[in-house]
Structure 1
Amino acid sequence: MKPLFRTLAGAVAGLAMGTAAWADDPIKIALVHGISGHSFEVFSKQAQTGFELGIEYATDGTGMVKGRKIEIIHKDTQFKPDVARAVLAEAYGDDEVLLAVGATSSGVTKGLLPIAEEYEKILIVEPAVADSLTGPDSNRYIFKTSRNSSMDMQAQALALKPDENLHVATLAEDYAFGRDGIKAFRAALDGSGATIEAEEYIPQGTTDFTAATERMFNALKDKEGRKVIMIYVAGGGDPMGKIQAMQPERFGIEISTGGHILPVLPTYKRVPGMEGAIYYYYEAPKNEVNDWLVKTHQERFDGPPDFFTAGGMAAAMAVVKALNTAEELETEALITAMEGMSWETPKGTMTFRPEDHQALQSMYHFKIKVDENVDWAIPELVREIKPEEMNIPVGRNN
């Protein structure tokens, strides 16, 4: 029989070795984004760049939290719901990630919500937008750093200054992003006196908007007052340019839309003076985090950061804040730390609302300015729209 003190000493030594090994293990985080096979690929790449920059900034360049290295594991959803569910399950299960961040398409991301619940691990939604991602079908493991459709639409409504003289026709893509967006826009106009005269939904990837535009013209042309076609399309196809080419001004009709990524903004040069709302434009926010992002991105990539670069950075900074704040690096402790958590981002302060885990954040009212020396139209800041100005519906209540 071994002496008791030797048995205890061996146990303590084994425990110490196990603890040391655990302390050396990286903190694994999965980035679950579509990076092949879709026009939204550019959104994913921006989010990935922003996430990596955010980890760098939030950890003072060490890439470490509590003495452990952060390891980013990349998973390609290929923008296919079945692939997305499989790679998230693989990340939670085989890869043993602590949490995951993604995905790009709202439709694809919606299918990931039950996977997070099944594995009882956190999914931070970025950059998908639809309100339903924190809605009744969501769950307590979902946190959302991206803005939602209600923010887009309430900010857009504020930019339009709605009253009883405003008549609107809407154009959106026929999937979660578009449907949720127009539902939120209708809610944002409720009580203002403004009227939505027509809603047009088009398949993703549409390039011919003629029929939908003619229907919107017919719905608006005989109305008295201000007449606006509001476009809420995330993909390509240049709906604004093609609608503009059909001369809506013949009927006194204006075009309005939210801001977009830099590669799309050159098309906005056709609508100088147009007002709308935007999630992020690198010149709009005034804070230290954004100053660093703009300067660093310009130095490394020879250009300013874009929409989803800022979003990816915000998600990364939320992750680091949560890891530093949580009493333990496990799901329940992270949830406790993140509910109600505020943190700094390139857009200023964001806060996870405890009820549904949506990050409340500012939006920006812009007016299009055309400068011949700038390749794209400039969404010049009119004013920052603060979170408290927007009545964002609570999604999940459990």
Structure 2
Amino acid sequence: MKAFTRLAAVLAGAIAFAGPAAAQDPIKIAVVQGMSGSSLEAFSRQSLTGFEMGIEYATGGTNEIDGRPIEIIVKDTQFKPDVARAVLAEAYGDDEVLLAVGATSSGVTLGMLPIAEEYERLLIVEPAVADGLTGPDSNRYVFKTSRNSSMDMQAQALALQPDENLYVATLAEDYAFGHDGIEAFKAALDGSGATVVTEEYVPQGTADFTAAAERMFNALKDKDGRKVILIYIAGGGDAPGKIQAMDPGRHGIEISMGGHILAVLPTYKRFPGMEGAIYYYYEAYDNPVNNWLVEEHMKRFDSPPDFFTAGGMSAALAVVKALETADSYDTEDLIAAMEGMSWDTPKGEMTFRPEDHQALQSMVHFKIRVDDDVDWAIPELVRIIEPGEMDIPIGRTND
């Protein structure tokens, strides 16, 4: 019955595209994000705002392509894998969307990949990070505009300037995002002489980091050289602050971490001079796309665009370019147009790698500066880390 329903939907879509009224039919795009049920909702809402602004920018304010309006249908995953699969299937089937974009949680998004393959429709992954989203369990219908854990950690490793005198203990959450990130960090250190002395993984939502911190202190304190605790946690709990309160400095241990959204950056004021890597900061990039985004976001929301706003916009710009350049809106033609496609984003040029559909992109090496007149700690630009400086593993080979 399901196969019949899908076939009917495909035939109906083909008839609609072929008819003379097709020029006015909306281009339906699903944004499948966690809009409730988690502290990570902020990431999803930023991504949606960025996607909407990206469609506006890419279409010159018309929100149309070839006279056809773009209709964005928002689906809430509630940060539950089963709900995510159901609403994505609903979007492809009942709503007859051309493609979908999402989601925020890497674990939730992993469960969505087979649905894209089942319905033979595109899924643009944004802003989930885990390497596995373009790995062996992915498929040819999945493209990923968000950065991945390897980019996070190769950039972070470059910012730490590793050598044989560097000793690192890592702390991450016990799910795909955390494990992929630490594996990528260790791979990035290969050949540098640096040593990872211990790895700690804690459940999502952990609020007490005392035991993990003590184990990391013990693993590092007797080492001769630079001693660093690398924190790679996306959620709440304030691991950096709580570990800092335990005075790692008494052992000569420093804390390092990647950048974060603006709402979290005030907590970075406790770490002046800390260097790390960040996906995006609105002052780090000077290009027409980012300049428009910053100016318009300030006008509309009285605040600068954030981490995932830029990501959502990048996904929208990729979608519009694909729709404008593909021979047709048939999925196979869209895949052909997107493999190897480059496009401009707030972060500069991105390119979908043909082999696994991961978007190769730049990262920002920052140094924390504290300004009493700014509410948050400023991840001041040290330099842009270009895509060619990072050796990002290929996750899967298309068949």
With the shorter chain as reference, the TM-score category is over 0.9
The aligned counterpart of 1:11 is: none
**Paired residue type of 1:390:** M
Unaligned runs of 5+ in 2: 1-14
- Deviation of 1:334 after TM superposition, in Å, equals 0.3
Distance 2:194 2:337 in 1: 42
| 1:317-363 C-alpha deviation (Å, 9 max, x unpaired) | 00000000011011011000000000000000000000000000000
The aligned counterpart of 2:328 is: 328
The aligned counterpart of 1:29 is: 29
| 1:140-167 C-alpha deviation (Å, 9 max, x unpaired) | 0000000000000000000000000000
Distance 1:82 1:136 in 2: 21
Fraction of identical pairs, as percent: 79
Distance 1:363 1:93 in 2: 37
The 3-state SS of whatever aligns with 1:167 is strand
Distance 1:265 1:242 in 2: 15
- Deviation of 1:20 after TM superposition, in Å, equals 2.1
Distance 2:224 2:113 in 1: 45
Q: Is the 8 A contact 2:92 2:121 kept in 1?
A: yes
The aligned counterpart of 2:150 is: 150
- Deviation of 1:16 after TM superposition, in Å, equals 11
The 3-state SS of whatever aligns with 1:74 is strand
The aligned counterpart of 2:352 is: 352
The 3-state SS of whatever aligns with 1:112 is helix
Distance 2:143 2:48 in 1: 18
Distance 1:259 1:132 in 2: 22
The aligned counterpart of 1:109 is: 109
Q: TM-score, normalised by structure 2?
A: 0.95
Distance 1:187-1:60 versus aligned 2 partners, 3 A rule: same
Distance 1:160 1:267 in 2: 20
The aligned counterpart of 1:316 is: 316
| 1:262-298 C-alpha deviation (Å, 9 max, x unpaired) | 0000000000000000000000011010000000000
2:208 pairs with 1:208: yes
- Deviation of 1:21 after TM superposition, in Å, equals 2.1
**Paired residue type of 1:61:** G
2:87 pairs with 1:76: no
Equivalent residues in 2 for 1:197-346, closer than 5 Å: 197-346=197-346
| 1:175-223 C-alpha deviation (Å, 9 max, x unpaired) | 0000000000000001100000010000001111110000000000000
- Deviation of 1:24 after TM superposition, in Å, equals 1.4
Distance 1:167 1:232 in 2: 16
The aligned counterpart of 2:3 is: none
2:397 pairs with 1:397: yes
Distance 1:16-1:95 versus aligned 2 partners, 3 A rule: closer
Distance 2:101 2:64 in 1: 18
Distance 1:197-1:33 versus aligned 2 partners, 3 A rule: same
How many residue pairs are counted as aligned between the two chains?
A: 384
The aligned counterpart of 1:383 is: 383
Distance 2:92 2:225 in 1: 55
Q: Is the 8 A contact 2:16 2:22 kept in 1?
A: no
The aligned counterpart of 2:93 is: 93
Distance 2:329 2:137 in 1: 26
Distance 1:95-1:16 versus aligned 2 partners, 3 A rule: closer
The aligned counterpart of 1:185 is: 185
Distance 1:200-1:350 versus aligned 2 partners, 3 A rule: same
The 3-state SS of whatever aligns with 2:19 is helix
- Deviation of 1:98 after TM superposition, in Å, equals 0.3
The aligned counterpart of 1:7 is: none
Distance 2:212 2:27 in 1: 49
The 3-state SS of whatever aligns with 1:367 is strand
The aligned counterpart of 2:10 is: none
2:59 pairs with 1:56: no
Distance 1:17 1:337 in 2: 19
Distance 2:39 2:290 in 1: 27
**Paired residue type of 1:20:** P
Q: Is the 8 A contact 2:131 2:148 kept in 1?
A: yes
**Paired residue type of 2:239:** P
**Paired residue type of 1:252:** G
| 1:1-54 C-alpha deviation (Å, 9 max, x unpaired) | xxxxxxxxxxxxxx9996222221100000000000101000000000000000
Distance 1:83 1:382 in 2: 42
Compare CA radii of gyration and give the structure with the larger one: 1
The 3-state SS of whatever aligns with 1:280 is coil
Q: Is the 8 A contact 2:170 2:182 kept in 1?
A: yes
2:136 pairs with 1:136: yes
Q: TM-score, normalised by structure 1?
A: 0.95
- Deviation of 1:78 after TM superposition, in Å, equals 0.3
Distance 1:119-1:16 versus aligned 2 partners, 3 A rule: closer
**Paired residue type of 2:247:** Q
